[in-house]
Structure 1
């Protein structure tokens, strides 16, 4: 399993959301400094999905996230 301390994940380009619909193909949405981007090409949406999966793989569990935040607030690392 990849851990955050093992290095970066593929979702390091900024925030985005994959929008799923019941009766339409998914799209990726990303806010930009001066607008927004809606990605409809399914190959590109798949790239966003891979980035999501990569981030999920290295993410801490909720319990470990809370412990990390608490240690940071208390002056630890």
Structure 2
């Protein structure tokens, strides 16, 4: 297993990339123009990244536990 500092830094990268991609994708679906999409994407990303980071800390641990449990049964 990795040390706590590595896990936190990894979660920063993972949550940032996922928030960036998800807000861009869903913003594009609802956009009326490219400029509106870019403006909305920026606003949504600023809100989504901190939320994604906090949630990923809990979900990440659960995900690892589930993966270890499933691996034992396969």
Pair in the same fold by TM > 0.5? no
State TM-score, norm by structure 1. Answer: 0.35
Tell me which protein shows more strand as a share of its residues. Answer: 1
Tell me which protein shows more helix as a share of its residues. Answer: 2
Larger relative contact order (C-alpha < 8 A, sep ≥ 6)?
Answer: 2
State TM-score, norm by structure 2. Answer: 0.36
